[in-house]
Amino acid sequence: MVASSFALALGIAALVANAAAYPIPAGDLKGRIDVQAHRGGLGLRTEESYWAFAYALEIGSDTLEMDTLFTKDGVPVVWHDHYIYPSKCTGDYVGDFINNLTLAQVKSLDCDLQLDDHPQQETHPGTKIATLEEVLELVNCYGDDGVTINLETKLDPTTPEQTWPVEKYLDLIPLLQKHALLERTTIQSFDWRTLVLIHDRYPAVPIVALLDDTTVVPDANGTYPWLGGLNLDDYAGDWVAAAAAIGSSVVSPVHGFPSNLTVNSPGYTPFTTEAVVDEAHELGMKVIPWTVDYEVTISKLLDDGVDAIISNYPERVLAVARQRGLSVGRVRNPSKPECLAKASE
End-to-end CA distance of the chain: 24
Nearest one of 173, 218, 181 to 197, comparing CA atoms: 173
What's the per-residue H, E or C state across 23-86? Answer: CCCCCCCCCEEEEEEECCCCCCECCCCHHHHHHHHHHCCCEEEEEEEECCCCCEECCCCCECCC
Cα 169 to Cα 32, 49, 89, 271: the distances in Å are: 32, 21, 25, 29
Dist. CA 224–CA 256, nearest whole Å: 20
Cβ neighbourhood burial of 275 (10 Å; 0-12, 13-18, 19+): exposed
Q: Are 327 and 31 in contact (CB under 8 A)?
A: yes
- Model confidence pLDDT, tens digit, residues 70-95: 999 999 999 999 999 999 999 999 99
Q: What is the mean pLDDT of the chain?
A: 91
Q: Which amino acid is at 263?
A: V
Q: Give the contacts of 39 (CB within 8 A, at least 6 positions apart).
A: 47, 48, 52, 65, 66, 67, 80, 312
pLDDT at 247: 98
- Map out the domains of the chain as residue ranges: 2-340
DSSP alpha helix (H) spans, the chain: 2-18, 50-59, 103-107, 132-142, 172-178, 192-201, 239-245, 274-282, 295-304, 314-323
Q: Please count the CA atoms within 13 angstroms of the CA of 305 that sit on its side-chain side.
A: 12
What does the pLDDT profile of the chain (345 residues) look like in tens digits?
333 333 333 333 333 333 333 332 333 345 789 999 999 999 999 999 999 999 999 999 999 999 999 999 999 999 999 999 999 999 999 999 999 999 999 999 999 999 999 999 999 999 999 999 999 999 999 999 999 999 999 999 999 999 999 999 999 999 999 999 999 999 999 999 999 999 999 999 999 999 999 999 999 999 999 999 999 999 999 999 999 999 999 999 999 999 999 999 999 999 999 999 999 999 999 999 999 999 999 999 999 999 999 999 999 999 999 999 898 888 888 999 999 988 888
Give residue 319's Cα distance to chain centre.
19
User: pTM of the predicted model, to two decimals?
Assistant: 0.91
Dist. CA 325–CA 200, nearest whole Å: 39
Dist. CA 70–CA 119, nearest whole Å: 30
- Report the top-level CATH class of 2-340: alpha beta
Buried b (16+ CB within 10 A) or exposed e, 232-249: beebeeebbbbbbbbbbb
Read off φ and ψ for residue 254, nearest 5 degrees: -60, 150
Q: What is the DSSP string of 249-287?
A: SEEEEBSEESTTS-TTSTT-EESS-HHHHHHHHHTT-EE
Q: Give the contacts of 310 (CB within 8 A, at least 6 positions apart).
A: 36, 38, 65, 150, 252, 288, 289, 290, 291, 292
pLDDT at 328: 84
pLDDT at 207: 99
